Structures are given as structure tokens and as C-alpha cells.
Amino acid sequence: MVNHDRVTKAVIPAAGLGTRFLPATKAMPKEMLPVVDKPAIQYVVEEAVDAGLHDVLMVTGRNKNALENHFDRNAELEDALTKKGDTARLQKVNYSSVLADMHYVRQGDPMGLGHAVLRAQMHVGREPFAVLLGDDIIDARDDLLKRMLTVQAQRHTSVVALLEVPPESIHLYGAAAVEPTDEDDVVRITGLVEKPDAEHAPSNYAVIGRYILRPEVFDVLERTKPGRGGEIQLTDALQSMAEAPDWTGGVYGVVFRGRRYDTGDRLDYIKAIVQLAVDREDLGPELRPWLREFAAELDDKPGEIVEEMPADPTGPISTIRVEDH
Ligand code: G1P
């Protein structure tokens, strides 16, 4: 029996290797990279809690300690801040440890997003649940998850978040074939393809990292064969669900027109920090005029190119060693 009750659980896959951010992510999960002054993952947990999902399961991989520690108490730090009377910072430190009811499960072999979601089966049981991907930050001023929960409650289907992207970017996402409904921001999904070429994409509607899934997804994922990149793709499972609405409930999309930041890509990560910081009351007033000046100067500067890495990384190191001795 499917439990159509209120969604209460959020699942956050956080087992990726973060190779795009090496060496920063050599010893630290990419989810801990700061966006202004909070780790990226905290924005995502806050979004879940804000939508009423207090039970958060993180599917982790190697280096999970930093994640667990961030959402736990830090007695030593709390003592030091208490002694200093620094209540503002004490509050910030405490906040992440009381934010949600956190749970963790290990993914083991990283065999794809579908595999990560399958690892949540024991914890979730036979209830609909949310999946939030850590690379996507949705601006707290724009509702997405709450809207998706409303649509899920009305239609009892699985619901994914869609964003219209330029055709040249669709190969980075799951792409959806859609049909309109009687609601302007809701579409029925008739098919899904993981990261198609622009010419094979069914539309410009990209799946962004928010999903409300019916528990039938676990049954489908168990039978889903490795797809693109040899990984078990959530998109492939959703495609099967869209094709079999009789027993899976089908899949609908909520078209998001608000602010979304991609922290999974280095350039977009830099943009996200700037975009979020200019609106912060503590940083914006100084950052805005500085940015204007900086941007104006860029127009006059030819630009000095700095190499990403020395061509021969052993060169400078051995030189330093020689000089040290
Ligand atoms: C994943 C999903 C993809 C989705 C994207 C959203 O891809 O597989 O369908 O569009 O997240 O961010 P990833 O970016 O993890 O490769």
C-alpha cells in the first residue's frame, strides 16, 4: 500500500568525489565548500527544513566525517565562544547542529545517483520522499520545494523540478518531454533522457536537483540497468515511471522560474558566491560599489593570464627543497 501521507523525509546524496574542485576536495567533501560563509550543503538542509522536512538522510561516501561534524555539536568551540561572550557566533555554530534530525548511510561503491537513492530505501520505507542534490542551491526567497510538495499532495505522483535552459546547456542535465496541464507552472512528463546532445533533446526543460518521489521508485531502481557513464541513473528510473503511470503514478514537473545557483561547476560556484553576497546585509553594501569599480577597471585591463598549475609540478618543489638545505 502506498502511503499518500505528508512527505516528511529528505534524502541528500553527498558521495560524489568532487573531482572538478581538486585539490580543494582532496581531503574534504565538495559539499563542505563555503558559499559565502556557509558550507554549500547547509543551504540545502535549510531548504528542506524550511519546507517542513525535518528528517534528513545524507547518503555519504568517503570523507563523511566533516559532514557529520558540521551538523553535530562542537563542545570545544562552543565553550571558547561562550567564554568570550561571542553570542552571535555561538548561535551560528549551534544552528547547524539543531537544524534537522540528521541520519547517514554510506553508499559504498559510487554507482550513480540512482544507486545513491536506492541506499535510502531502508530509512524511507513506503512513503513519498524528497531528494535534494547538493550542487543546486535554490534561493531561499523563491519557493520551489514547497510548490513541488503541494503538487505532489494534489496529484499523488512523483514530481521533479524543471528549469528552461539554453539548448547549448541541455547536455549537462536530464531533459524532459512534457505536455501542458491546466496549471501554468505544472507539466506532465512523458519522457526523460539523461544528458542528451542538443539535437536529440526532447525539449529545453532541464531537470534540476529537486525531486519528490513515490516509493515505487525503489522497485524501479532495483531493476534499472546501468545507463549513461555506466551508472544507475535516477533519470532512467523516472523515464520508466513516466511510461508506467498505472502503478507508479507517473511523473509531473514543476517549472521553476526563480533563482538557482550551481555550485558543482567552478565558474558557476564563483558566480553563486558573488550573487548571494551582494544581497547580504553584512557584505552587500561594501561589495556592490567595489564590484562596480572592479568591473569598470576590467574594461581597461588587457588581463594577465595566470597559469592554473606549473607545467612541471616537481620543478618548483625540488627547487624549494634544494634551497632549504
Ligand atoms: C544529475 C542528474 C541530472 C540532473 C542534474 C541536476 O546530474 O543525473 O539528470 O539534471 O543532476 O543538477 P549531475 O549534475 O549530478 O551529473
CATH topology classification for 9-275: Spore Coat Polysaccharide Biosynthesis Protein SpsA; Chain A (3.90.550)
Q: How many CB atoms lie within 10 A of CB 185?
A: 13
Atom of ligand 1 nearest to the CA of 207: 10
Domain-wise residue ranges, the chain: 9-275
Backbone phi, psi, residue 29, to 5°: -65, 145
Q: Is the CB of 276 under 6 A from ligand 1?
A: no
| C-alpha distance from residue 297 to each of 135, 290, 301 (Å) | 32, 11, 6
Segment holding 202, helix H or strand E: none
Backbone phi, psi, residue 80, to 5°: -60, -45
Q: How far is Cα 155 from Cα 158, in angstroms, rounded to an integer?
A: 9
- What's the CA angle centered on 26, arms 313 and 72, to 5 degrees? 155
| pLDDT of residue 1 exceeding 90 | no
Q: What is the pLDDT of residues 250-292, one digit of tens each?
A: 999 999 999 999 999 999 999 999 999 999 999 999 999 999 9
Q: How far is Cα 240 from Cα 248, in angstroms, rounded to an integer?
A: 9
| pLDDT of residue 308 exceeding 50 | yes
Tell me the residue type at 214: R
Q: How far is Cα 171 from Cα 204, in angstroms, rounded to an integer?
A: 10
Q: Is the CB of 253 under 6 A from ligand 1?
A: no
Please give the pLDDT value at position 316: 55
| Ligand 1 mean position, distance from CA 185 (Å) | 21
How far is the first Cα of the chain from the last one, in angstroms, to the nearest whole number?
A: 73
Q: Is the CB of 170 under 6 A from ligand 1?
A: no
Dihedral angle sign, alpha carbons of residues 97, 51, 58, 163: negative
Backbone phi, psi, residue 55, to 5°: -95, 110
Q: What is the pLDDT of residues 110-141, one digit of tens each?
A: 899 999 999 999 999 999 999 999 999 999 99
Band of the pLDDT at 17, cuts 50, 70, 90?
confident
User: Under DSSP, is residue 225 helix (H, G, I), strand (E, B) or coil?
Assistant: coil
Contact 224, 232 (CB under 8 A): yes
Percent of the chain topping pLDDT 70:
93
| pLDDT of residue 54 exceeding 60 | yes
Q: Is the CB of 235 under 6 A from ligand 1?
A: yes
Q: Is the CB of 96 under 6 A from ligand 1?
A: no
State pTM to two decimals.
Answer: 0.91
Q: What is the pLDDT of residues 166-201, one digit of tens each?
A: 999 999 999 999 999 999 999 999 999 999 999 999
Please give the pLDDT value at position 324: 43
Q: Is the CB of 201 under 6 A from ligand 1?
A: no
Q: How far is Cα 303 from Cα 71, in angstroms, rounded to an integer?
A: 42
Atom of ligand 1 nearest to the CA of 192: 9
| pLDDT of residue 319 exceeding 50 | no
